[in-house]
Amino acid sequence: MKKILILISIFFLFISCASQKTRQDLTTNNFLITEKSAGNAIIGQKVLDFKTKHTNRIEWKKNYRSNYNAWIVFKNKKSLFAFSYPAKTKTSSATEITTIEIKNPAFKTKSGIHAGMTISDAVKIFGKATITIYSSIEDSPEYVTFENYKKGTIQFRVKSLTKSEAGKYMQNEGGIISSEKIYPDSYISCIIIKSK
């Protein structure tokens, strides 16, 4: 009888430890940005699967744009992230998440990069920064790349707190222009994960 009680106690202790580890893993990974995911949203994941799994814990707001449909995901009235899929696509069982945009600073990459971080702080992690803008497009978003950050599916959109652009560009007619002259108050405004 004692052996059975000991075995049952060990079993419940094991279950308890495993359950606690799972809870910790979910907590630590919940705000992690990777090349394929932000928290629980994953590139290639079915939109309806995501909604079904998380509908009780988060709020939804649909947002239509010209080239894609987006769902903005909220928790406690704070925007967590937005994910999108091709425009004019109805949300069917086959519709997949193709882009995730993160503006919430709680979400971070493994190296600690997050929305709201100044470019000067990001430079301390990844080295020299270069900002880029598509000069032929009015109100084009600006992006930053870093010397020691391997280009992949993650993009960093930037803004300045006080100026219309994040840095000083040389005048150029059309095309893409870049600059290493970045204003001190420029920051990462959004982290974008795209499918390849």
pLDDT tens digits for range 67-126: 666 777 767 667 777 777 666 666 666 778 888 889 999 999 999 999 999 999 999 999
What is the mean pLDDT of the segment spanning 34-58? 81
pLDDT in tens, 127-146: 999 998 876 566 778 999 99
Q: Where are the beta strands (DSSP E) in 89-149?
A: 99-102, 108-109, 129-134, 142-146
pLDDT band at 147 (very low <50, low <70, confident <90, very high): very high
Q: Where are the beta strands (DSSP E) in 14-171?
A: 32-33, 37-38, 41-42, 59-64, 68-75, 78-86, 99-102, 108-109, 129-134, 142-146, 154-160
Cα-based angle 23, 25, 28 (whole degrees, multiple of 5): 110
Task: State both tokens at 145.
Answer: 């790349």
Query: Quick one: pLDDT at residue 13?
Result: 42
- Does residue 100 contact residue 43 with C-beta atoms inside 8 Å? yes
CA distance 109 to 187: 16
What count of residues does the chain have?
A: 196
pTM over 0.85: no
